Structure 1
Amino acid sequence: MPETVGLPAVVLQGILPLLNIYYLERIEQAAVKKGLSTQSIWCKLWNDVMKSKPSRFGTVTCWRKKFLEAFFHNVLRGILNVSSDERLNDQRFSPLVHSARHVSELTICNKQQGVSELTPAVLECLARSVESLKFLHLRSSDQATQRSLRLLLHRLIHHGQVKRVSLLSWPSPDINLLVLILSISAGFWQKQTSCPCTFCLKKTLNDNSQVLQEKRPEKGLLQSSSSADLSHMHSKHNVEEDMGSQSALLSLQPLNISHSVVTDCSDCSSAETLPRRVPGSTHCKKATCQKSSLPTNTVGSKAASTSRKNLISGSDIQGSIRTEPDDLYDFIFSVPSMGEGGVLNMNQGYKESAKEKPSEVSTVPLFDDLPPVEERSIISQFPDGAHRFRSVRALNLHNVPLTLSSCRFLCHLLRSWVSLERLTMAYNDLGANIFLIVEALSALSRCPGCSLSMFSMSDFTTYVPTLDLANTILTTFPSLQLLSLSYDLENHNEKETSEDIPAEFKENQLKQLEIRFPQDPLPVGSLISVLKASTLLLELSLDNATFSCTEDLKCVLHTLAEHNKALRRLSFHDMKMTDMHSEIVLLLNSSSLEEIKFSFCRLFERGTEEFLSAFVDALRKNPSVKILKLCGNRLGNDGLTALADLYNPDSLCSIHYLDVSSNCIKPEGLLHFAKKLERCGKIKLKHLSISQNLLDRDPVMAQEALQSLEGVCCVVSDNWDSAQAFADHVSVM
């Protein structure tokens, strides 16, 4: 609105509340130039229209963006009627087009409502703004919606800015929909002549203009392929003969699982090696051809055999005519040397199944044992014209159960997903399929340009000891910077032998290590080994770690003090640390920790007075600690009062965030703490959390204490009913 630029600020300030959201959004820059803020107006719109409060755990930095992003999603899903409010309704503007530019995280729910209604103009705006795609509570949809979703994904990922894809809370995944999302996220795209992509056409035209200036391949190189194949290629892609067609990859049209993936190398000698194009590289690796038995009694087995032979004949010439750097010709066609009954030894690879002869283990095809009929369409063929485009950098699969076949499909993608930097897998019900993931990551680590630096995996049950899994992953990825493993139970009953004990951890580049251990006592030697090998560690989180004796935990704390000098953030949760007083004081005196969390560790259960004095004295002399979380440690009134000495004028303490939740603190203790802080003058404490304490015992005194603290820092409290909580605790004992 250029005409508003010249208005005086006082006039503009009076106009702002009268505008609808479309003009209010357009006038934003003019208001900023006048020194005016529209944040309060957008906040009021949020309260009036959305009728919900933002989470108290998050800070809203821009109400304008927050409102318009939520507005877009509500209009898209049809749960907000813009005609019901004159502030939202204007015939001169499109609600979706106008708000799409503010959507940085696009969330698609249920049956993908509204996806089919996204116009090219809306997609154009989304392609410039969306960086994260989130799929929540997905359900099966019709073919028309899936086609629209396919184009949406292609536009936002392959020709857009999307870096992260998350699939959340999908207890019963639609296998075709899952394949669609994962395939496009990994960069695969099968062009369709019926609905061409304008961006792909532009790229093709640009590529063709460059190819015309390049030298054609030698004729003899093309004669190694069949004339029928070359005729087909020439008829469909005349120019691709000059430039080297991109590799046959994924088609999103579901076919029988037995018709693809398994490469028949029966025509090759067992010792023969063929050049294999490495994804993202112009170099070739040697891949040993292995004989693989063809699945029998399956529909279309003859066609599958022909397809596999064509793939092999193509591999003879791919090193010559397929010269694109993104060549992935054998992306899906490598056959892991294992059968479905194989078991992974974390040090030596796959053990032979008891039902298999040793000589047959390496020749079992990947899909020899077919999944149920409803899952056989998960893998697709790879016709000419399938290409690899831009792929996302982060993938999050949370509460998305993976069957054997869907897990194998994901593993095929992972094996060459070189752009993937962060992989998060949580509650996928992997079971023994975890070995497939480890094998795929091992293959990925050998790809030039591999970018994976953060890996997180959690589930209810693990089929391999947690530290053994950590050792294998770090051996595969010594440059990994973040490793997070979280399990509740272990499902392995074999007694550990000397042959199964993992080797010592080798030096790595870890900066963040997070492990939630199962209930079983952990081998302290392995834990100490990984700590000593992780000299660059900045963050360490240990949850539910159980030790055979107190000396084991003392050794861990001594190791941290001696070998992990770079550590900045330390978190211990649900661990018995009652008798670790001298070790904790040593750690505080010898480290440069900035954030310390001891939650539900029974820290002050015994020897409170002597330990409290030493604990507080160590923190008073430590200027590096900024955040201290002591929730659930039986601190009590005396402990909280002692912590007030951290802010005496002669203290070097720099703690600005203090969490003393769930510490049996009563109103009189909180009041005494508040009075001591008032006498300290201006202090560095900015945030105090006192939730789930016994403040309901005397509400009047508690209110007095809270009022005193309000002038000192920001206080987070609650209306916790301690009597009801105690009754609930007793009822479940």
Structure 2
Amino acid sequence: MHEVYAEEVLRSAATSRPKTRMTSLKRICLRALSRHVAVLDPRELLEFPTSLIKDLLPHLDVTHLDKLQPALNLKGISTYSAWVALLRDIKGPNCVADLHTEEESKQETMDALFHVIFYGFKYSYIARHISNVNITSLLLVMAKHVKHFYLRLSHFLQSFTAEQRPLLRSLEKSVRCVEIKKHIEVLKRDSQYALYILHRMLDHGEAKDIIIYNQDPVMLAWILHARGSQYGCEQFQKRSTFKSNTTTSSVGETMASPDHGTTSYKDEEDHVLLAKRPKIDFVSAEEEARNPKSPLDPEVLCQTFTSSTVPLSEDCPRGQICSLQIRECAQNMLSMLVPFLPTWLCLRSLTLQSCSIFSDLDILTLARSLKQLSETSRSSLTSLSIGVLPHAVFMETLLDACLNLRSLSVEIHTVTENHGLHKTKTDGSKGFAELPLQELTVTVPQVQTHLDSITSVLKRSPHLMSLDISGIRLCVGSSHQELLNIISVSNTCLRRLHLEDLNLASCLPEILGLLENCMLEELSFRDCRLLEKCSDKKSCLWQLVVSLKRVSSLRSLSLSQNRLAKNVPTVVELFTGPSPSAVKKLDISSNFIQPNELLELGRQLEKHRPAQRVTLDLRKNPWDQDKEVWQAALSSLCPFCNILTDGWTSRDTMADHISNM
């Protein structure tokens, strides 16, 4: 084998130009080695010098990385950088900001690359690295790691019913979440393949989470029916068949056979009415015996597309959907969903996002249905996310309906509170009951609101451990000082606090008070205008940093988008003195930090080196003002920092520059 390497290296080197022969010889050797790494015993690889192995990593494809990773880990070498490089190649430079471990980066890369290759997208990586690789074998290698499957209408889905059956079986074992982004019309012939794949992953496989966008109610009902909720079973026998608002026979005429036949309709008008007025019926076992099953039934799809000899009378298994996200939830979708909820005992997480604001009636109807579920002792629902609420008071409405919620996320669009609704709600005894809430996210973008409902929820949530508040514009009579004081008093268990797009320019005393007796591990003041009203910005920042240093539990800090600019070297105070901060992640992105200011930051950090490496986020700062100085600053930071940077330019930060003049 080594002779093969030598022969190829010599042949390649002989054709190199003299000027570049020495500089390119190492690259030639690495490329030659990477082409033969498939036959390399991992034990042989461990004998190579560590520096050579690290140089080799960027030249390996996903199959080699996957195969060699265990051996490399035994030698203390991480493949993180190689996976991150692949992911950047697929998704762009900013896609890896939140990926900090080898397994996270590997998982994201496998998910992304699998779908690019399976659905036949043109991608430069394929031409460069795997043009001579057997695609089926490659997909099988990646399928073992795919946990998030993106289902889209494509002729490639047909391969799951033929030559790619082993691939589907592998995905059934690995996939945990299915996402359907594009609209699927249940009654179209091409949709049969998509429904079959859904059935296999949800019912025969391990997928329990589903994310859907802009689907019609018929599709939603097909997905939900008998996969956790008992909706419809009280009225009819246990075995029931899903049907459209046409008869079974007409559905059979509408749907073409699974071969390459054409779709036919009785007439165009019937098809239009069918699309506009979808409806779900359930037929009893007696009717079922007289009528053939619909082609939409999972059992029929399974019998049609698999080589199984299982009789049609034997039902396929039905899985349980434990997490549902509807990203574009129209009113008709909500109306279809609500009846399923009271008996959906396995549902742990529900997310409903809408492009428009839900009506008061929509939210009250939803709350009643969730209350019925909550009153069932076996209810599993602990996480709820709703957007967009018409009033902040509906936070309490939902929390009092679901008394077991541990996590709530809401987006609110309102100009004035509905005080009549608020009075009716808080007059009840539950309005002051303690809540078991542990995570709360409140987003109020670009509209004014009162703090009454938000502070009421905070006071009732003494066990809160994570709090995100973003974008609140306060009406007259409310203040951010009040919000910070309530957090200080009522939420002493907080481990994570993210405040974004809030005007905290006059709140330094309250911030310092909050930091005195807290146990925060993660703190973010993103775009909070912290120094805006300070006559001595450096002094105010110093006071803040000194208080932050005293929070011994703090591991992650974000001061992003606060116009620190020339005052950024003051942040080094975190790591000075006999009790330096243990912060491991510091985000000072988007602060209009000039190259000279970053260089000074590097010099100060060299004097007061952190006890451990710090992940330093420098993105969206104008590095192009003086590229040489910026590179010198990065070089001075590299020995003790993992740096996140990008290609953000001064043109992109012109507005921020003007505001700092």
Provide TM-score, normalisation by structure 2. 0.71
Structure 2: gaps spanning 5 or more residues? 1-38, 249-271, 289-296, 298-314
Query: Which runs of structure 2 are paired with 1:493-504 in the superposition (5 Å)?
Result: 496=420, 499-500=423-424, 502-503=426-427, 504=431
CA distance in 1, matches of 2:616, 2:545: 17
Q: 2:96 aligns with which of 56, 73, 76?
A: 56
CA-CA distance at 1:86 after TM superposition: 6.0
CA distance in 2, matches of 1:495, 1:33: 60
1:543 matches 2:588: no
What value does the CA root-mean-square deviation take over the aligned residues? 4.4
Distance change >3 Å, CA 95–CA 606, structure 1 → 2: closer
Decide which moves more: 529-538 or 32-41. 32-41
- Corresponding residue for 2:218? 176
1:528 matches 2:570: no
1:657 matches 2:570: no
CA distance in 2, matches of 1:102, 1:584: 44
Q: Counterpart of 1:715 in 2: which secondary structure?
A: strand
Q: Aligned pairs, how many?
A: 549
1:9 matches 2:9: no
- Corresponding residue for 1:439? 368
Q: Counterpart of 1:628 in 2: which secondary structure?
A: strand
In structure 2, give the amino acid aligned to 1:61: E
- Corresponding residue for 1:374? 275
CA-CA distance at 1:646 after TM superposition: 1.3
CA-CA distance at 1:80 after TM superposition: 6.9
- Corresponding residue for 2:351? 424
Whether the aligned pair in 2 keeps the contact of 1:508 and 1:534 (CA below 8 Å) is: yes
- Corresponding residue for 1:450? 379
1:680 matches 2:608: yes
CA distance in 1, matches of 2:628, 2:113: 43
1:486 matches 2:411: yes
- Corresponding residue for 1:160? 205
1:114 matches 2:42: no
Q: Counterpart of 2:494 in 1: which secondary structure?
A: coil
Distance change >3 Å, CA 683–CA 550, structure 1 → 2: farther
1:477 matches 2:402: yes
Distance change >3 Å, CA 581–CA 5, structure 1 → 2: closer
Query: Which runs of structure 2 are paired with 1:293-692 in the superposition (5 Å)?
Result: 374-384=275-285, 389-398=318-327, 400-404=328-332, 406-427=333-354, 429=356, 431-432=358-359, 433-459=362-388, 462-463=389-390, 465-466=391-392, 468-487=393-412, 489-490=413-414, 496=420, 499-500=423-424, 502-503=426-427, 504-517=431-444, 519-548=446-475, 552-607=479-534, 608-638=537-567, 640-684=568-612, 686-692=614-620
Q: Deviations over 1:108-159 (max 9, x none)?
A: 1245741563345333322221111111223447744433333332332223
Q: 1:710 aligns with which of 614, 638, 648?
A: 638
CA distance in 2, matches of 1:601, 1:682: 26
CA-CA distance at 1:502 after TM superposition: 3.6
CA-CA distance at 1:408 after TM superposition: 1.5
CA distance in 2, matches of 1:576, 1:34: 50
Distance change >3 Å, CA 677–CA 121, structure 1 → 2: closer
Provide TM-score, normalisation by structure 1. 0.65
1:252 matches 2:242: yes
Distance change >3 Å, CA 501–CA 103, structure 1 → 2: closer
Whether the aligned pair in 2 keeps the contact of 1:486 and 1:517 (CA below 8 Å) is: yes
CA-CA distance at 1:678 after TM superposition: 0.7
Q: Counterpart of 1:687 in 2: which secondary structure?
A: strand
CA distance in 2, matches of 1:617, 1:41: 35
1:129 matches 2:174: yes
Distance change >3 Å, CA 512–CA 146, structure 1 → 2: same
Whether the aligned pair in 2 keeps the contact of 1:186 and 1:391 (CA below 8 Å) is: yes
CA distance in 2, matches of 1:502, 1:381: 41
Distance change >3 Å, CA 600–CA 112, structure 1 → 2: farther
Aligned-pair identity in percent equals 22
* RCO comparison, higher one (Cα < 8 Å, 6+): 1
CA-CA distance at 1:528 after TM superposition: 2.4
Distance change >3 Å, CA 719–CA 12, structure 1 → 2: closer
Query: Which runs of structure 2 are paired with 1:223-242 in the superposition (5 Å)?
Result: none
Q: Counterpart of 1:114 in 2: which secondary structure?
A: helix
CA-CA distance at 1:568 after TM superposition: 0.9
Whether the aligned pair in 2 keeps the contact of 1:421 and 1:451 (CA below 8 Å) is: yes
Whether the aligned pair in 2 keeps the contact of 1:9 and 1:34 (CA below 8 Å) is: no
CA distance in 1, matches of 2:515, 2:122: 54
Distance change >3 Å, CA 188–CA 69, structure 1 → 2: farther
Whether the aligned pair in 2 keeps the contact of 1:21 and 1:88 (CA below 8 Å) is: no
CA distance in 1, matches of 2:72, 2:89: 24
Q: Deviations over 1:142-194 (max 9, x none)?
A: 744433333332332223211211114x4xx344334323436546899xxxx
CA distance in 2, matches of 1:436, 1:429: 17
CA-CA distance at 1:396 after TM superposition: 1.2
- Corresponding residue for 1:311? none
Answer with 1 or 2: which has the greater Rg: 1
Whose helix fraction is larger, Structure 1's or Structure 2's?
Answer: 2
Structure 1: gaps spanning 5 or more residues? 191-228, 230-244, 260-370
Q: Counterpart of 1:570 in 2: which secondary structure?
A: strand
Q: Deviations over 1:386-442 (max 9, x none)?
A: 9893312111111x24243x3221112222211010111122546323333223212
Q: Deviations over 1:682-721 (max 9, x none)?
A: 5445111222234433333323222211222122233333
Decide which moves more: 620-629 or 438-447. 438-447
Distance change >3 Å, CA 11–CA 702, structure 1 → 2: closer
- Corresponding residue for 1:342? none
Q: Counterpart of 1:490 in 2: which secondary structure?
A: coil
